[in-house]
């Protein structure tokens, strides 16, 4: 169904925009310094969006607004993951920001604006709308990182993020302009039609290089990863938990819309570039993570490696591989929110405990939470039966089926190397003596949320199809 004015296909975005206006006005007149009502309205908005999105599962594909907007199973599944990830990230954030002069309405409002940007990115059917959603997301995240005004390292991280994010956006926009100059359109389906009738000439290939570089920058894939460890390390931990996880889901939606939906006919030109970025990310991320002593920096280099595994699926270039990549990025978001949730749990009294050595004594004095962190580490390492094992296994299987045996062998080898730094964290918690009990958060809601999040890594690992089938159906509906 094609319609130029169809409000039903943007009902979720309209709802969120209205909710943002209401929350902004409510927050303006609030005298409660803890912003309880703002927090509750924010979470209620996310729950409402999730319920609305769940009702859209299985609906037919709809295109509107002169083909600039699309609503399909693919965008619906990604949006559901975005709502859920944001909800959990805000649960973790509340006790953290209460102690750090960050308990302001702007925290929640900027988070919701970033969610709106992500929703636009995954439902865009034109390169212009993709770019608008990306910039709305990026500007919200820049402001979030800078929200801790009394922290020099947070301000420095915000400036670095802004500069590198602006550079990535510039690459992407320049590539889009070159493609528009040659094809005469910014509509994704029309670009695909042009390329099916005409070969990608040198100018389109040149534009595609800039687009791939821009996407790699946004993911933090090597060799365009230089900003990511500093940003993750310098940002407040609650914000790092959010920006390291949920926006990656939207970035996958953007990458698929641009690369496959637009340039699927020219995949011979972009899949080798994605493969190079993937292998470099896997090698560099795992090797550098081995020597890290700071937990946040270790997780940041681990993130670079995970992005490499995820990009391997994109480089294969078929629906089965895209489903595996989608599965991987959703599972990665679930794991990394939990990983940074432990750092939030270990942060109290205006002090962040970020060194791996700060975890000593956890196994003795806080055995349950040491066990929870162990679940996160082994899931990230890809050990069965945890959920982190299954998407990685699927990527390796598809690489071998595609004839890329050498890439699969290298990826598997470095996955084993990655096991070393994950188990190093477990060793510090359980096998290094410590007489003093590590300080942890007293927040009951944080303890419950963290326990549920970590246990889900095992539960979903025992029934991985509960997530994977939605990813498969999302791509099946596109055909």
The per-residue pLDDT for 243 is: 93
* pLDDT for 4: 52
**What separation in angstroms does the CA of 178 have from each of 141, 174, 256, 257, 271?**
28, 6, 19, 17, 19
Q: With a cut of 70, list the residues of the chain below it in pLDDT.
A: 1-4, 103, 348-353, 479
Domain of residue 389 covers: 2-476
Structure tokens at 98: 């209460």
Start-to-end Cα distance in the chain: 15
CA distance 88 to 338: 9
The Cα–Cα gap between 449 and 174 comes to 43
Closest CA to 399 of 298, 473, 317: 317
Closest CA to 305 of 284, 291, 324, 290: 284
406-433 residue pLDDT tens: 999 999 999 999 999 999 999 988 888 8
d(CA 373, CA 346): 11
The tally of domains found in the chain comes to 1
Q: What is the pLDDT of residue 1?
A: 42
Cα 423 to chain center, whole Å?
24
Quick: pLDDT tens for 137-190.
999 999 999 888 777 888 888 899 999 999 999 999 999 999 999 999 999 999
User: Token pair 């094609």 is at which residue?
Assistant: 2
List of residues 6+ apart from 194 with CB closer than 8 A = 183, 184, 185
Residue 343's pLDDT is what? 86
59-69: pLDDT as tens digits: 888 888 888 99
**Any residues with CB less than 8 A from the CB of 387 and at least 6 apart, and which?**
331, 334, 335, 379, 456, 457, 458, 460, 461, 464, 467
Q: Exposed (0-12), middle (13-18) or buried (19+): which is 258, by Cβ within 10 Å?
A: buried
Nearest to 68 by CA among 2, 14, 117: 2
Q: What is the pLDDT of residue 103?
A: 66
**What are residue 2's DSSP bridge partners?**
63
Asked if residues 216 and 45 have their Cβ atoms less than 8 Å apart, the reply is no
Mapping DSSP onto H, E and C, the string for the chain reads: CEECCCHHHHHHHHHHHHHHHHHHHHHHCCCCCCCHHHHHHHHHHHHHHHHHHHHCCCCCCEEECCCCEEECHHHHHHHHHHHHHHHHHHHHHHHHHHCCCCCCHHHHHHHHHHHHHHHHHHHECEHHHHHHHHHHHHHHHHHHHCCCCCCHHHHHHHHHHHHHHHHHHHHHHHHHHHHHHHHCCCEHHHHHHHHHHCCCCHHHHHHHHHHHHHHHHHHCCCCCCCCHHHHHHHCCHHHHHHHCCHHHHHHHHHHHHHHHHHHHHHHHHHHHHHHHHHHHHHHHHHHHHHCCCEHHHHHHHHHHHHHHHHHHHHHHCCHHHHHHHHHHHHHHHHHHHHHHHHHHHCCECCECCCEHHHHCCHHHHCHHHHHHHHHHHHHHHCCCCCCCHHHHHHHHHHHHHCCCHHHHHHHHHHHHHHHHHHHHHHHHHHCCCCCCCCCCCCCHHHHHHHHHHHHHHHHHHHCCHHHHHHHHHHHHCCC
Query: How many angstroms from the chain centroid is the CA of residue 284?
Result: 20
CA-CA-CA-CA torsion for 386, 388, 392, 394, nearest 10 degrees? 60
pLDDT at residue 466 in the model: 86
Would you state the pLDDT for residue 3?
45
């Amino acid at each position: 169904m094609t319609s130029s004015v169809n409000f039903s296909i943007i009902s979720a975005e309209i709802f969120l925009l209205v909710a943002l206006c209401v929350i902004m006005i409510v927050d303006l007149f609030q005298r409660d310094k803890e912003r309880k009502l703002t927090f509750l309205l924010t979470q209620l908005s996310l729950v409402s969006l999730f319920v609305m999105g769940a009702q859209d599962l299985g609906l037919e594909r709809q295109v509107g607004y002169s083909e600039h907007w699309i609503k399909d199973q693919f965008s619906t599944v990604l949006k559901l993951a975005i709502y859920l990830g944001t909800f959990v990230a805000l649960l973790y954030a509340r006790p953290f920001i209460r102690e750090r002069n960050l308990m302001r309405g702007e925290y929640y409002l900027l988070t919701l604006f970033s969610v709106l940007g992500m929703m636009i990115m995954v439902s865009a059917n034109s390169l212009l709308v993709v770019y608008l959603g990306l910039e709305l997301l990026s500007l919200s995240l820049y402001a979030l990182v800078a929200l801790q005004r009394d922290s020099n390292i947070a301000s420095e991280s915000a400036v670095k993020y802004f500069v590198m994010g602006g550079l990535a956006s510039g690459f992407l926009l320049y590539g889009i302009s070159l493609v528009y100059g040659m094809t005469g359109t910014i509509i994704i389906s029309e670009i695909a039609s042009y390329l099916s009738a005409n070969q990608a000439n040198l100018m389109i290939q040149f534009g595609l290089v800039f687009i791939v570089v821009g996407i790699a920058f946004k993911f933090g894939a090597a060799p365009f990863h230089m900003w990511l460890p500093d940003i993750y390390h310098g940002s407040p931990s609650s914000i790092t938990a959010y920006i390291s996880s949920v926006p990656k889901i939207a970035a996958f939606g953007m990458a698929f819309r641009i690369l496959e939906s637009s340039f699927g006919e020219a995949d011979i030109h972009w899949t080798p570039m994605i493969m190079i970025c993937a292998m470099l990310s896997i090698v560099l991320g795992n090797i550098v993570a081995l020597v890290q002593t700071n937990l946040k920096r270790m997780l940041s280099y681990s993130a670079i490696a995970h992005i490499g595994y995820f990009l391997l699926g994109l480089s294969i270039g078929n629906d089965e591989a895209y489903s595996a990549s989608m599965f991987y990025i959703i599972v990665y978001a679930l794991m990394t929110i939990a990983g940074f949730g432990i750092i939030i749990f270990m942060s109290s009294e205006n002090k962040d405990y970020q060194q791996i050595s700060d975890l000593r004594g956890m196994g003795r004095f806080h055995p349950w939470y040491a066990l929870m962190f162990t679940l996160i580490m082994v899931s990230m390492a890809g050990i069965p039966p945890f959920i982190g094992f299954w998407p990685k296994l699927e990527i390796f299987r598809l690489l071998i089926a595609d004839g890329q045996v050498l890439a699969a062998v290298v990826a598997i080898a470095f996955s084993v190397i990655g096991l070393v730094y994950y188990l190093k964290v477990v060793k510090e918690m359980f096998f290094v003596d410590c007489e003093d009990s590590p300080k942890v958060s007293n927040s009951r809601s944080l303890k419950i949320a963290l326990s549920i999040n970590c246990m889900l890594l095992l539960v979903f690992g025992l029934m991985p199809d509960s997530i994977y089938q939605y990813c498969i159906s999302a791509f099946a509906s596109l055909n």
